[in-house]
């Protein structure tokens, strides 16, 4: 059996399958927004779309639950579009191809979209249910969470009516999340005019592929290789010792994904081509040795490049290389009281040339605002010294934990009674929309939970089947036990 619609709970998996058939990469909200809006209306429920594209569907309480606090079931509609190199998949037109692999649901060579499609599917299943007790429900699905949490930022203070918000965007069953890190985007640019290559130079294309990548918050502690850092380490030696010149660079594609691949075109004197081939082979062996046990498929290749090419001016090339080499990346600090939890990190996500401009993007995260600003100062100093223009955008707050939260107390008790173990109460390093939503709804009681999803934001993304069933059962019991209005 390889049809995910046959898995239990059937209603949730059916909705998730339907979501995989609708292209929904971040920034492309038209099809998925209409689908969710039409779904709410097809159930005869009050359905609203706000100016930014967020969808809200209201379902009245079931009989006997009218005096309970109203609940917002919250998730985001977009997914991260990542695929393996060489795969012919268009995220704006093609469905996601799912399959069952033992205890997991995966996608063929692309991200699966369980982040956050499972949360959306669960909310849809609650809306259509006829036998699940629940208070007044609002299904609130935001747009463009993955690219900057724009849906949460655009929410107006009078749109939601619920008193409790259950965010379903966490990724480890058995955990109740009550806080998260804030974030900030660093946008770094170099501007230049291309120059001609020295006469007789040969152009070569270097490809670095096979890295695992992953979510720049959830997976940053795994110490996986960053394709941009590895590529520029190699380029520095090629430029310094082998008379190479940089023509173009393309590394990484999303601010919140650890870069898995990087590609560079260089020029070298004709008599230095063999040396570059040998250098590439040496670095492939070096990287495989350094990342043994962490990365298992690092691949470096080089081939002659036959298209037209020009060069990045030498002073810009050198500044760029120095800036990328010096830029802090990965985990910078852990939480003192919880050393297994990351406090502050940076993801050097994108380095890409456009012919007369080079763009670098970093996503800075920290659960301590002052540390986030310190990191921003570090990144700004590094690249300013390296001759770049640096701007910061997309600043979003962390979500400060409330350990006396009534919904936390209720859900902790339900989990202990249902499963005989205490759920772990956590603060995560990834960004959740709760902190932003709390700006306009400061009195709303919030919590986040979800099934086990591994390696989101990469083609290795997978969701654990049994954990989805457990997530669903826990959600159903939670809704049946929402506290009475005061």
Q: In this predicted model, what pLDDT tens digit does every residue of 320-334 receive, in sequence order?
A: 999 999 999 999 999
Provide DSSP, 91-142: TTTPPP-EEEETTEEEESSB---HHHHHHHHHHHHHHH-SS---SSEEEEEE
How far is residue 136's CA from residue 70's CA, in Å, rounded to a whole number?
A: 5
Residues of each domain in the chain carrying CATH 3.30.70.360: 184-394
Q: What pLDDT score does 337 carry?
A: 78
CB atoms within 10 A of CB 424: 10
Indicate whether 341 pLDDT > 90: no
- Residues 6 or more apart from 125 whose CB is under 8 A from it? 9, 11, 12, 15, 472
- Give the model's pLDDT for residue 209: 96
In the chain, list all ranges with CATH 3.40.630.10.
4-181+398-480
Closest CA to 306 of 194, 195, 200, 202: 202
Which pLDDT does position 86 carry in this prediction?
Answer: 84
With residue 203 as reference, give the H or E element that holds it: strand 202-209
Q: What is the CA radius of gyration of the chain?
A: 24
Which pair of structure tokens corresponds to residue 28?
A: 């492309």
Q: Mean pLDDT, to the nearest integer, of 377-399? A: 96
pLDDT band at 22 (very low <50, low <70, confident <90, very high): very high
Residues across the chain: 486
Residue 340's pLDDT is what?
85
DSSP 5: G
Under CATH, which architecture does the 4-181+398-480 domain have? 3-Layer(aba) Sandwich (3.40)
> Under a CB-based contact definition with an 8 Å cutoff, are residues 226 and 55 in contact?
no
Strands 299-304 and 245-251: unpaired
Residues 215-268: tens digit of each pLDDT: 999 899 999 999 999 999 999 999 999 999 999 999 999 899 999 999 999 999
**φ, ψ for residue 26 (rounded to 5)?**
-55, 140
d(CA 229, CA 231): 6
| pLDDT(1) > 70 | no
Distance of alpha carbon 125 from alpha carbon 7, whole angstroms: 14
Q: Which uninterrupted H or E stretch holds 200? A: none
Residue 355 near residue 163 (C-beta atoms within 8 A): no
Closest of 459, 394, 463 to residue 184, by C-alpha:
394
Pull the structure tokens for residue 6. 């046959």
pLDDT of amino acid 294: 97
Q: What separation in angstroms does the CA of 334 have from each of 39, 61, 397? A: 43, 43, 18
- Of the candidate CATH numbers 1.10.600.10, 3.40.50.720, 3.30.70.360, 3.30.930.10, the domain formed by 184-394 belongs to 3.30.70.360
Per cent of the chain over pLDDT 70 is: 100
How does residue 31 score in pLDDT terms, banded at 50, 70 and 90? very high
Q: What is the C-alpha to C-alpha distance for residues 390 and 191, in angstroms, rounded to an integer?
A: 12
Of residues 463, 85, 454, 114, the one with CA closest to residue 297: 85
Q: Round to whole Å and give the CA distance between 6 and 4.
A: 5
Rounded percentage of the chain residues whose pLDDT exceeds 90: 92
326 and 382 Cβ atoms separated by less than 8 Å: yes
| pLDDT score at 4 | 97
73 pLDDT above the threshold of 90 = yes
What is the rounded CA–CA span in Å between residue 86 and residue 109? 10
Nearest partner of 121 among 79, 166, 175, 75, judged by Cα: 75
How large is the average pLDDT for residues 397-412? 93
**Per residue in 192-223, pLDDT tens?**
999 999 999 999 999 999 999 999 998 999 99
Rounded Cα gap, residues 483 and 135, in angstroms = 9
- Other Cβ atoms closer than 10 A to 381: 12
Across the chain, what does the average pLDDT equal?
96
Residue 93's pLDDT is what?
Answer: 97
pTM of the model: 0.82
Start-to-end CA distance of the chain, whole Å, equals 49
- State the DSSP string of 360-411: EEEEEEESSHHHHHHHHHHHHHHHHHTT-EEEEEEEE--B---TT-HHHHHH
C-alpha to C-alpha distance for 307 and 197, rounded to whole angstroms = 13
What confidence score (pLDDT) does residue 454 get? Answer: 95
Identify the pLDDT of residue 449: 98
Summarised one tens digit per residue, pLDDT across range 86-112 is: 899 999 999 999 999 999 999 999 999
Catalytic site residues?
78, 145
């Amino acid at each position: 059996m390889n049809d995910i619609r046959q898995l239990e709970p059937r209603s949730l998996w059916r909705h998730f399958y339907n979501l995989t058939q609708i292209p929904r990469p971040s920034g492309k909200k038209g099809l998925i927004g209409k689908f969710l809006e039409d779904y709410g209306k097809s159930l005869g429920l009050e359905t609203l779309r706000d100016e930014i594209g967020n969808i809200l569907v209201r379902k009245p309480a079931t009989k006997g639950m009218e005096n309970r606090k109203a609940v917002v079931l919250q998730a985001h509609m977009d997914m991260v579009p990542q695929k393996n190199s060489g795969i012919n998949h268009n995220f704006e037109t093609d469905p996601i191809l799912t399959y069952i692999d033992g205890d997991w649901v995966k996608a063929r060579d692309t991200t699966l979209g369980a982040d956050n499609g499972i949360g959306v599917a669960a909310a849809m299943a609650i809306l259509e249910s006829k036998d699940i007790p629940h208070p007044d429900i609002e299904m609130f699905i935001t747009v463009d969470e993955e690219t900057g949490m724009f849906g949460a930022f655009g929410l107006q203070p009078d749109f939601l009516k619920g008193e409790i918000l259950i965010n379903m965007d966490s990724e480890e069953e058995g955990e109740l999340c009550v806080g998260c890190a804030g974030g900030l985007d660093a946008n770094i640019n170099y501007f230049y005019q291309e120059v001609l290559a020295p006469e007789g130079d040969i152009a070569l294309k270097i490809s670095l592929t096979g890295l695992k990548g992953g979510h720049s918050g959830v997976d940053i502690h795994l110490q996986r290789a960053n394709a941009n850092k590895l590529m520029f380490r190699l380029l520095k030696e090629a430029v310094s010792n082998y008379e190479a010149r940089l023509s173009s660079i393309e590394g990484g594609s999303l601010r919140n994904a650890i870069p898995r691949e990087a590609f560079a075109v260089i020029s070298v004197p004709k008599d230095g081509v063999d040396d570059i081939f040998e250098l590439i082979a040496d670095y492939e062996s070096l990287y495989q040795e350094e990342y043994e046990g962490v990365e298992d498929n690092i691949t470096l290749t080089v081939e002659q490049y036959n298209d037209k090419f020009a060069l990045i001016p030498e002073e810009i090339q050198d500044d760029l290389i120095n800036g990328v080499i010096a830029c802090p990346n990965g985990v910078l600090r852990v939480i003192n009281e919880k050393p297994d939890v990351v406090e502050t990190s940076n993801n050097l996500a994108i380095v890409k040339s456009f012919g007369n401009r080079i763009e670098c993007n970093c996503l800075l995260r920290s659960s301590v605002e002052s540390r986030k600003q310190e990191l921003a100062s570090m990144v700004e100093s590094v690249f300013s010294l390296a001759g770049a223009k640096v701007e910061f955008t997309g600043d979003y707050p962390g979500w400060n934990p409330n350990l006396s939260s009534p919904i936390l107390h209720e859900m902790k008790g339900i989990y202990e009674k249902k499963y005989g173990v205490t759920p772990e109460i956590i603060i995560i390093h990834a960004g959740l929309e709760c902190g932003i939503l709390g700006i306009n709804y400061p009195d709303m009681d919030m919590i986040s939970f979800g099934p086990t999803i591994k390696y989101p934001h990469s083609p290795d993304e997978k969701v654990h089947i049994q954990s989805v069933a457990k997530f669903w059962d826990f959600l159903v019991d939670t809704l049946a036990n929402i506290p009475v209005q005061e």
